Amino acid sequence: MNCLLKKFNTKFETVPFSQIKNDYFIPAVKDAIEKAKAKIETIKNNPETPTFQNVCEVLDVVDHRLNIISNLFFNLHSADTNEERQKLAKEISPMITEYGNDVSLDQALFKKVKTIFDQRFTFNLTPQQLTLLEKQYKNFVRNGALLPSEKKDEMRAIDKRLSDLSLNFSEHVLEERKQFELWIEDEKDLSGLPDSVREMASAQAKEKGRPNAWYFNLDFPSYMPFMTYADNRQLREKLFFAQGSLGAKANSYDNRPIVLETVKLRLQRAKLLGFPSHSHYVLAERMAESPENVEKFLKELYDKARPFAEKEIDELKQYAKKHHGLSELCRWDLAYYTEKLKKERFNVDDEMLRPYFKLENVIEGAFQVAQKLYGLHFILDSEIETYNPEVRVYRVLDSKQRVLGIFYADFFPRAGKRSGAWMTEFRSQSKSTGEELCPHVAIVCNFTKSTPDQPSLLGLSEVLTLFHEFGHALHGLLSDVYYESLAGTNVYWDFVELPSQIMENWIYEKECLDLFARHYQSGERIPEDLISRIKSSMNFHEGRMTVRQLGMSLLDMAWHNQQVSLYTDVDMFEAKILGPLELMPLARGTNISSAFSHIFSGGYSAGYYSYKWAEVLDADAFMYFKEKGIFNAEVAHKFKNDILSRGGSEHPMILYKNFRGKGPTIDALLKRAGLS
């Protein structure tokens, strides 16, 4: 019996992973689509006068089962894929896209929604109901409901092709990343690498049957320590070009044709809908509202950060020349010399910090922060199944010991798992199905693994990543809205990073670090002077990092403005856009766009600026915490009730002003970053 065809008969209706076979997915998707369409027919054929209840509320839940199945499949496709699942994705993705088009282009269904929308102020709707109605109406319009029939066919074809391109882009990056291996057999080539990095590389080599070698790849826990500490400059250069040329070589994984086709189709689609560009289309439903506002925001920050960044690069060049006689600083030298200069100036580096950041302790620290702020308790539950033995799963209880949700944590790199870190859901919180459904959320990361000689010890950037993704998870877990499509992280994309980025602030506070940062061997608390040095170094080379992120944001915006059809070469386009913004010459043979998964397969197109936009929000919001105390119950209660629990139930600026009492300003960000 295909368990995907019915509600899961498990504890908390969690996914019964052991019962699922890959060949269950297509029949289940087809069945869910068929049942959703049948429910849509009941809406269309209802002879009663259209109302919010008999149209909008029913429409909100028609996709519920399909969402559960598709979330499950694509979560596995990202975190635990194989050849069979990759083939299935190429069948399932177009099916779901086609279904979405069938719904959004259904004239009779749209007519009912439009009738209610046109009379919306006569229905006495609550703010959440009004938000749902406006979202549904705009979804129809933004997906072609007002187009003539021949244009609707064109829209269908574009959407299907874009779906295929996104999938291919992601798979190309994954496959090419998997193919790169750096084997070291001469121990002198390990010079500069800390013992922990050597041990990890040795353990991975042994797993692959070469006990007398050391193994490195492009996964973050392998790549970044090598680039940061390895004295062998030639090998750093080799890794740099392997990473920088992903999807940009003339082979079967070349993503540059996909980039060009994608941006042209996005432009074509936007113009079909009456927008001058894809960025205009996207930003019409964002806090920023327009490309002009985004570019003004990015350039204002860029102008502030550029002088600091130039000074930092000059400083690195002088340091490298003084200490190593380096005549030309190259991009593969940046992490190496930055770390050395940082160590000299602040007497702090990742290797000094790792012993205090044992993974289990950091997880427990995140849980304690959530308990102190929001009264949550995380209970490890071995009875709930997972999709991989490495995944841990927890019941999440609120302050009254009620089950609030289920939390999955997947921390280590492995074959078949894409790089990076993200939060996702297996099921959203909602009440609109007729029962209160608690959320099932997950965070997926790629952290330093344990070795036979020591546990998993995280660097500071990995600790920040864990707290960041945990912030997204809290947004999903604490959601308390009625409608599924407004729950949790279903908010404007330039607002969604506020709950995640604000969590990173706690890591620099002694009151937080004292909760969990203890030496994994001695159990000693992290020394106060080390905390002070961490805090002093937090803005080290912030100008350079800011300029880099702003450059990527401006590249994203450039790809999605109305002029993109003029460009036919990805490398030339990047050079044109990034050349004037870069602090160092571009490295020939590398390309950002060809592996820029955020914007070409991850939903952030014309939205990468969101990280910086949300930094303004999180810096301003955390200033409020700092004023009252980082664990102040009153502020935490307001943040939970005004932001985290509200999902997308109202416009994010309304939610933010409810919390803060006023709108955000850029001042708090500039002060925190040391750029004012």
DSSP letter string, 237-288? HHHHHHHHTTT-SSSTT--HHHHHHHHHHHHHHHHHTT-SSHHHHHHTTSSS
Residue range 144-162: average pLDDT?
A: 95
Per-residue pLDDT for 370 more than 80? Answer: yes
With 0-12 / 13-18 / 19 or more C-beta atoms within 10 angstroms meaning exposed / middle / buried, residue 461 is exposed
pLDDT given at position 564: 66
* Tens-digit pLDDT profile for residues 177-203: 999 999 999 999 999 999 999 999 999
**Domain assignment present for 263:** yes
pLDDT given at position 672: 92
Nearest to 208 by CA among 232, 242, 184, 240: 184
DSSP letter string, 568-586? --HHHHHHHHHTTT-SS--
Q: Of 497, 515, 538, which residue is a domain's last?
A: 538
* Tens-digit pLDDT profile for residues 551-573: 999 999 999 997 766 678 999 99
The domain spanning residue 565 has which CATH number?
A: 1.10.1370.10
For residue 340, what pLDDT band results from cuts at 50, 70 and 90? Answer: very high
Please check whether residues 224 and 258 belong to one and the same domain: no
Residues in CB range of 403: below 8 A, 6 or more apart: 12, 395, 396, 397, 438
Please check whether residues 439 and 467 belong to one and the same domain: yes
Place of tokens 């002070």: 532
Which range marks the domain in which residue 205 is found? Answer: 180-232
Per-residue pLDDT for 627 more than 80? Answer: yes
Question: 171, 295, 312, 469: which one is catalytic?
Answer: 469
**Domain assignment present for 210:** yes
Please check whether residues 267 and 399 belong to one and the same domain: no
Is the Cβ–Cβ distance between 144 and 275 less than 8 Å? no
Residues in CB range of 540: below 8 A, 6 or more apart: 338, 342, 345, 346
Q: Of 523, 538, 553, which residue is a domain's last?
A: 538
Is 574 a catalytic site residue? no
Is the Cβ–Cβ distance between 628 and 583 less than 8 Å? no
pLDDT given at position 452: 87
Residue range 264-290: average pLDDT?
A: 96
Q: How many CB atoms lie within 10 A of CB 192?
A: 16
- What is the total count of domains within the chain? 4
Please check whether residues 582 and 600 belong to one and the same domain: yes
CA–CA distance, 12 with 273 (Å, rounded to integer): 42
Query: What is this structure's pTM?
Result: 0.95
For the chain, the average pLDDT equals 96
For 424, the 3-state DSSP assignment is strand
The domain spanning residue 526 has which CATH number?
A: 1.10.1370.40
Kindly state the helix (H) or strand (E) to which residue 184 belongs, with its residue range.
strand 182-184
Please check whether residues 138 and 162 belong to one and the same domain: no
Please check whether residues 597 and 579 belong to one and the same domain: yes
Q: Of 538, 559, 592, which residue is a domain's last?
A: 538
Please check whether residues 72 and 136 belong to one and the same domain: yes
**Domain assignment present for 332:** no
**Domain assignment present for 350:** no
**Domain assignment present for 338:** no
The per-residue b/e assignment along 565-577, b for 16 or more CB within 10 angstroms, e otherwise, is eebeebbebbeeb
C-alpha count within 13 angstroms, C-beta hemisphere, residue 193: 29
* Tens-digit pLDDT profile for residues 446-466: 999 998 889 999 999 999 999
The dihedral formed by the CA atoms of 97, 101, 102 and 104, expressed in degrees to the nearest 10: 140
102-to-97, 106, 145, 156, 498 alpha-carbon distances in Å? 9, 6, 10, 9, 34
The per-residue b/e assignment along 392-425, b for 16 or more CB within 10 angstroms, e otherwise, is bbbbbbeeeeeebbbbbbbbbbeebbbbebebbb
Per-residue pLDDT for 428 more than 70? Answer: yes
With 0-12 / 13-18 / 19 or more C-beta atoms within 10 angstroms meaning exposed / middle / buried, residue 91 is exposed
Looking at residue 65, the DSSP 8-state letter turns out to be: H
Q: How many CB atoms lie within 10 A of CB 18?
A: 9
Segments of 428-478 assigned E as strands = 440-444
Residue range 22-43: average pLDDT?
A: 98
Please check whether residues 118 and 88 belong to one and the same domain: yes
Long-range contacts of 149-157 (CB under 8 A, 24+ apart): 151/272, 152/105, 154/272, 155/101, 155/105, 155/269, 155/272, 156/98, 156/101, 156/105
Please provide the distance, in angstroms rounded to a whole number, between the alpha carbons at the two ends of the chain.
Answer: 63
CA–CA distance, 329 with 327 (Å, rounded to integer): 7
CA–CA distance, 620 with 100 (Å, rounded to integer): 38
Please check whether residues 518 and 547 belong to one and the same domain: no
**Domain assignment present for 46:** yes
**Domain assignment present for 665:** yes
Please check whether residues 660 and 632 belong to one and the same domain: yes
Give me the helices (H) in 180-219, please: 195-207
The domain spanning residue 124 has which CATH number?
A: 1.20.1050.40
Please check whether residues 499 and 586 belong to one and the same domain: no
**Domain assignment present for 241:** no
By DSSP bridging, strand 403-410 and strand 440-444 are parallel
Nearest to 221 by CA among 445, 516, 389, 444: 445
CA–CA distance, 396 with 230 (Å, rounded to integer): 42
CA–CA distance, 557 with 299 (Å, rounded to integer): 12
CA–CA distance, 413 with 391 (Å, rounded to integer): 11
Please check whether residues 313 and 423 belong to one and the same domain: no
DSSP letter string, 528-542? HHHHHHHHHHTTTTH
